[in-house]
């Protein structure tokens, strides 16, 4: 496993650990928090920011400025990635992939124990195809030198924390998987899914995939008009579709994307490990299609995105001051006052912008351009994994069995009947 992929799994697992009470996986959690913080403060170019800004970005990434941030910043300084001053922090220019590399380095230098290495390897393994829980326990025991009982406890603990999922099929076999099944080898796996469907479901499923291929990102409401809610929930629960949630004073809004659309360059979890490109695409889609000041389809924004990727400031506009708070709190964009009540904005993470643009341009991009950012008013963003977990907790028992049978088909390539 390369360092970028390992770093991405460390980030994934750290987010899971942040929402549970667990004293295990200490080095993994520390390295992950370093990675989350570094992602928040790093731009594509060397930059200096105030301590106040650093504290705000720490809170946005789930770190306590008082109890956790000092140790994290000390480690980042030891790695020569930042330099701390009295009131400021200077940060090297880094890409998202570089952040993942450094996350992996911090993890490895901290001498992680065998179970921490094991949960990362297991996650990568079950992201390729579902694995029988019994086979996985044996693999873990053999590979990491654990007793069979300890390996079984580790797999069950990983399932409870959310490092990976498990579901029983109709034969009673328990299969382990995670939400990254469809980031690679998508066509083969989708063809296997189609084999489990009837004629009508297949037709609607193909129609939805065609729409996503043309538009890159659509509303969940639109998706539900094409396929039934039950079928969509089943497919979302195994990670075939990503659902992104953004929120503002008018409520929550949900958008659907394809996982493979955000694996443009590596076909792994590493390409958008922090969900930043998904957040950017979802915010822009909201501004173009739902916002009261929306100005048309998302494809129209390509020229403006290229301007942002080139490092230019956009604006001035009054709305910029409050419309992109979710992206600002994640260190994706920088907003500053211009004149009067007007603000200007620039993109801090150009690789995030390039990946977002690749998704936007995936379908029928037009040559029509706009000169202002769409009004989005997006205050917070929730990524696909959190939304998938919610769906999995709420699906009915019959639907769970259907999910289990679908996982069996994916594991066997449709050969096991």
- In a domain? residue 416: no
* Side-chain-side CA neighbours of residue 185 (13 Å): 12
pLDDT at 377: 54
Helices and strands in the chain: count of H runs, count of E runs? 19, 13
Q: Contact 161/20 with Cβ under 8 angstroms?
A: yes
Claim to verify: residue 303 and residue 373 sit in the same structural domain: yes
Outline where 319-376 has alpha helix (H): 320-323, 325-329, 350-360
CB atoms within 10 A of CB 90: 15
**Residues paired with 336 in a beta bridge:** 344
Q: Contact 99/38 with Cβ under 8 angstroms?
A: yes
User: Distance (Å, rounded) from C-alpha 305 to C-alpha 311?
Assistant: 10
Residue positions counted in the chain: 417
Claim to verify: residue 108 and residue 131 sit in the same structural domain: no
- In a domain? residue 412: no
Q: Contact 352/277 with Cβ under 8 angstroms?
A: yes
- In a domain? residue 190: no
- In a domain? residue 184: no
Tokens of 355: 């990946």
pLDDT digits (tens, 9 = 90+) for 240-282: 999 988 886 667 888 898 887 777 555 567 777 888 888 888 8
Claim to verify: residue 98 and residue 147 sit in the same structural domain: no
Cα–chain center distance at 330: 13
User: Distance (Å, rounded) from C-alpha 306 to C-alpha 99?
Assistant: 23
Buried-exposed string 314-352: b where 16+ CB fall within 10 A, e elsewhere: bbbbebbbbbbbbbbbbbbbbbeebeeeebbbbbbbbbb
- In a domain? residue 55: yes
What mean pLDDT is reported for the chain?
85
User: Distance (Å, rounded) from C-alpha 383 to C-alpha 18?
Assistant: 15
Q: What is the mean pLDDT of residues 6-23?
A: 90
pLDDT at 371: 41
Claim to verify: residue 51 and residue 145 sit in the same structural domain: no
pLDDT at 55: 95
Q: Among residues 93, 112, 131, which one ends one of the domains?
A: 112
* DSSP element (H, E) containing 248: strand 242-248
Name the DSSP letter for residue 195.
Answer: T
- In a domain? residue 296: yes
Outline where 145-198 has alpha helix (H): 148-161, 186-194
Instruction: Print the domain residue range for 141.
Output: 121-177
Claim to verify: residue 203 and residue 332 sit in the same structural domain: yes
- In a domain? residue 388: no
pLDDT at 266: 56
pLDDT digits (tens, 9 = 90+) for 78-128: 999 999 999 999 999 999 999 999 999 999 999 999 999 999 999 999 998
Claim to verify: residue 168 and residue 202 sit in the same structural domain: no
Claim to verify: residue 325 and residue 280 sit in the same structural domain: yes
Tokens of 286: 């909201």
Claim to verify: residue 95 and residue 203 sit in the same structural domain: no
Claim to verify: residue 152 and residue 23 sit in the same structural domain: no
pLDDT digits (tens, 9 = 90+) for 180-234: 888 766 778 888 888 888 999 999 999 999 998 888 888 899 999 999 999 999 9
- Cβ contacts of residue 158 below 8 Å, gap of 6+? 119, 122, 123, 164
Which among 22-26, 203-207, 363-367, 385-389 has the top mean pLDDT?
Answer: 203-207
CA-based nearest residue to 213, from 45, 317, 71, 365: 365
Claim to verify: residue 231 and residue 368 sit in the same structural domain: yes
pLDDT at 151: 96
Mapped onto helix, strand or coil, the DSSP state of residue 125 is helix
Q: What is the mean pLDDT of residues 352-377?
A: 59
| Residue whose tokens read 């929402």 | 19
Domains identified in the chain, total number: 3
- In a domain? residue 226: yes
| Residue whose tokens read 């009295």 | 86
- Among 78-82, 154-158, 165-169, name the one with the lowest average pLDDT: 165-169
Claim to verify: residue 132 and residue 96 sit in the same structural domain: no
Angle at Cα 354 formed by Cα 350 and Cα 355, nearest 5°? 120
Claim to verify: residue 160 and residue 26 sit in the same structural domain: no
Q: What is the mean pLDDT of residues 36-61?
A: 94
Higher-pLDDT residue of 149 and 294 is: 149
Domain CATH code at residue 149: 1.10.10
DSSP 13-68: HHHHHTTS---S-HHHHHHHHHHHHHHHH--SS-EEEEHHHHHHHHHHTT--TTTT
User: Distance (Å, rounded) from C-alpha 356 to C-alpha 279?
Assistant: 9
> pTM for this one?
0.86
pLDDT digits (tens, 9 = 90+) for 290-342: 655 433 333 457 777 888 999 999 888 777 777 778 889 899 999 899 888 88
């Amino acid at each position: 496993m390369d360092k970028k992929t390992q770093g991405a799994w460390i980030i994934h697992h750290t987010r899971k650990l942040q929402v549970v009470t667990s004293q295990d996986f200490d080095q993994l959690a520390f390295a992950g928090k370093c990675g989350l913080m570094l992602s928040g403060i790093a731009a594509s170019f060397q930059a200096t920011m105030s301590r106040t800004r650093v504290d705000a970005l720490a809170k946005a990434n789930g770190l306590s400025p008082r109890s956790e941030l000092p140790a994290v910043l000390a480690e980042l300084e030891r790695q020569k990635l930042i330099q701390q001053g009295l009131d400021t922090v200077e940060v090297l220019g880094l890409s998202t992939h570089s952040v993942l590399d450094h996350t992996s380095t911090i993890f490895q230098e901290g001498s992680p124990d065998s179970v921490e290495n094991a949960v990362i390897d297991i996650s990568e393994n079950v992201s390729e195809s579902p694995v029988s829980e019994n086979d996985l326990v044996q693999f873990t025991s053999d590979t990491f030198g654990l007793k069979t009982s300890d390996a079984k406890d580790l797999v069950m603990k990983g399932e409870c924390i959310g490092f990976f999922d498990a579901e029983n099929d109709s034969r009673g076999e328990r299969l382990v998987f995670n939400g990254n099944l469809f980031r690679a080898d998508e066509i083969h796996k989708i063809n296997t899914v189609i084999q489990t469907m009837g004629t009508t479901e297949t037709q609607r499923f193909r129609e939805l995939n065609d729409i996503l291929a043309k538009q890159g990102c659509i509303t969940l409401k639109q998706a539900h008009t094409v396929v039934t809610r039950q079928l969509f929930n089943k497919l979302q629960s195994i990670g075939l579709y990503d659902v992104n949630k953004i929120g503002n004073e008018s409520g929550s809004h949900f958008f659907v994307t394809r996982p493979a659309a955000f694996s443009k360059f590596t076909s792994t979890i590493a390409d958008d490990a922090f969900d930043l490109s998904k957040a950017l695409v979802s915010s822009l889609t909201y501004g173009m299609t739902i916002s009261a000041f929306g100005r048309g389809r998302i494809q129209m924004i390509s020229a403006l995105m290229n301007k942002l990727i080139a490092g230019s400031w956009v604006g001035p506009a009054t709305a910029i001051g409050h419309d992109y708070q979710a992206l600002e709190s994640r260190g994706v964009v920088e907003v500053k006052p211009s004149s009067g009540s007007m603000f200007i904005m620039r993109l801090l993470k150009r690789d995030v912008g390039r990946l977002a643009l690749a998704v936007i341009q995936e379908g029928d991009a037009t040559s029509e351009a706009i000169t202002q950012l769409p009004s989005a008013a997006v205050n917070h963003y929730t990524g696909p994994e959190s939304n998938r977990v919610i769906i999995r907790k709420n699906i009915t028992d019959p639907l769970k069995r259907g999910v289990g049978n679908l996982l069996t088909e994916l594991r066997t390539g449709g050969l096991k009947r």
